Amino acid sequence: MKEYELIASLFKDVKDLFKSDAQIIEISGRKFGITCDTFSLEEDLFTDDDPYLLGCNLVTATVSDLTASGCKPAFFLHSMVLANNADSEWTKNLAAGICDTLKSIDCVLIGGDMGQAEKFSYTGIALGPQVKNVSRIFPNTFQNLYVTGNLGDANEAIVMSHPTPKFEMRSMPKTMLAGIDTSGGFVDALWQLHTLNPQFKIDVKNPPAKDFRMLFGGAGEYELLFTSSELVPDAIMIGTVTPNETGLFLDGVALKNPPPDPRSYTNLSKYMEAVSEMVNGLFG
C-alpha cells in the first residue's frame, strides 16, 4: 500500500485530509496547525558529516509544513534516536543546530524524548496558531504561481554524492492564497496541487533549476510553492493557475502521471533510472 493510501485508510474520519501540509484544529474558537515528521538518513538521504547543519535542516523541514499552511511555528517537540557510534561532540553540535534554528524563528522547544539504536532517526513535532487561512486548495480566481527559491539542489546533491545543502527557513508570504512545501520534490508538490484542484489549469514555465531531472526527484528542498494574485518581490514567479480549465503543464508539456515514488524502490539506482526515463519520455 502506498503512503497516501495508507494515510487515507488510517484517518478515514479526519476532515480535509491532504488539503493542507499541517493538520488544522480548532481550540476555543482559535485555529492551530500541527505537524509531525520523522526523518532517517536512509530514507531522506540527509548527510550527517556536519551535525550542526543537520540540526538546522531537521527543524526547517519540520516547520515548513506549518508555514505552508498559514501558521506561525510557536512550540516544538522532538524524539531523537542517536546512533550507537555518535560521540558527544557530534551530539552537542546537532543540538546547537536545532536550538539556534528554533531561536531564530521564536519557536520554543517544550519537550521530547531521546533514545539510542544502531542508526540515527529524528521525529519533529511543531504547532502554532494559524494566522492566515490558506491550504492547498486554490480560490476560484486567476493566480500567479511562485516558488521561494531554487529547486532540485537536494536531488543534485544525492546524485553527485555531495553533502545535503542547507534548507532555507522561509516565512509565509503575506499575499499567499494557497500553498504547499516541496518536501517530496517539486514535481511531487505540483502533482498534489493538480490532484486536489482538477478544475484548474497549472501552467509552469522556466522553474529555477539547473537540470529538469532534479525537479522530478523525491528529495525536497523545502521551498514554498504558492499562489498569489499580487506581485511577490521576494519570490520567483514560475507560472499561472487558471480556473475553469484543466491540466498540469511544465514548459508546455502535459504531465499525465505523478513522478516515481521513491518508497516503491529498494534500490536508489533503479529509482534514479525511473526518474530519468520519465523525464526523457516527456522532454526527449
Q: Round to the nearest angstrom and report the end-to-end CA distance of the chain.
A: 32
Which of 149, 167, 175, 151 is closest to 63 using CA atoms?
Answer: 167
Residue 27 predicted with pLDDT over 80 = yes
Is residue 4 one of the residues assigned to a domain? no
Q: 180 with 209, same domain?
A: yes
Q: Is the dihedral of CA 182, 183, 187, 193 positive or negative?
A: negative
**Model pLDDT, residue 212:** 84
Q: 156 with 269, same domain?
A: yes
Is residue 30 one of the residues assigned to a domain? yes
Show which of 77, 98, 129 is a domain's final residue.
129
**Model pLDDT, residue 42:** 86
Find the mean pLDDT for residues 26-47. 93
Domain count, the chain: 2
C-alpha–C-alpha distance, residues 205 and 36, integer Å = 32
Ramachandran assignment for 98, one of left (phi > 0), alpha (psi -120 to 50 degrees), beta (any other): alpha
Find the mean pLDDT for residues 50-69. 97
Is residue 202 one of the residues assigned to a domain? yes
**Model pLDDT, residue 19:** 87
Show which of 129, 157, 176 is a domain's final residue.
129
Residue count of the chain: 284
Q: 192 with 269, same domain?
A: yes
Residue 67 predicted with pLDDT over 70 = yes
**Model pLDDT, residue 117:** 95
Q: 150 with 121, same domain?
A: no
Q: 108 with 188, same domain?
A: no
Q: 201 with 125, same domain?
A: no
**Model pLDDT, residue 264:** 87
Q: 117 with 148, same domain?
A: no
Residue 71 predicted with pLDDT over 90 = yes
Is residue 9 one of the residues assigned to a domain? no
Q: What percent of the chain has pLDDT over 70?
A: 94
| Residue 64, all three cell numbers | 515548513
Query: Cα separations (Å) of 248 from 79, 190, 280?
Result: 38, 8, 18
C-alpha–C-alpha distance, residues 92 and 98, integer Å = 10
Is residue 137 one of the residues assigned to a domain? no
Q: 119 with 147, same domain?
A: no
Q: 120 with 156, same domain?
A: no
Which of 41, 141, 51, 56 is closest to 102 using CA atoms?
Answer: 56
Residue whose cell numbers read 511577490: 232
Is residue 235 one of the residues assigned to a domain? yes
Q: 178 with 275, same domain?
A: yes
Q: 148-187, pLDDT tens digit by residue?
A: 999 999 999 999 999 999 999 999 999 999 999 999 999 9
Q: 186-239, pLDDT tens digit by residue?
A: 999 999 999 999 999 999 999 999 888 899 999 999 999 999 999 999 999 999
Q: 2-17, pLDDT tens digit by residue?
A: 555 555 555 555 666 5
CATH number at residue 38: 3.30.1330.10
**Model pLDDT, residue 18:** 65
CATH number at residue 212: 3.90.650.10
Q: 81-100, pLDDT tens digit by residue?
A: 999 999 999 999 999 999 99
Show which of 99, 129, 159 is a domain's final residue.
129
Q: What is the pTM of this model?
A: 0.92
Q: 116 with 158, same domain?
A: no
Whether residue 32 contacts residue 71, with contact meaning beta carbons closer than 8 Å, is answered with yes
- Residue 10 burial class via C-beta count within 10 angstroms: exposed 0-12, middle 13-18, buried 19 and up: exposed
Owning domain of residue 64 = 21-129
Q: 110 with 149, same domain?
A: no
C-alpha–C-alpha distance, residues 26 and 15, integer Å = 12
Is residue 73 one of the residues assigned to a domain? yes
Is residue 2 one of the residues assigned to a domain? no
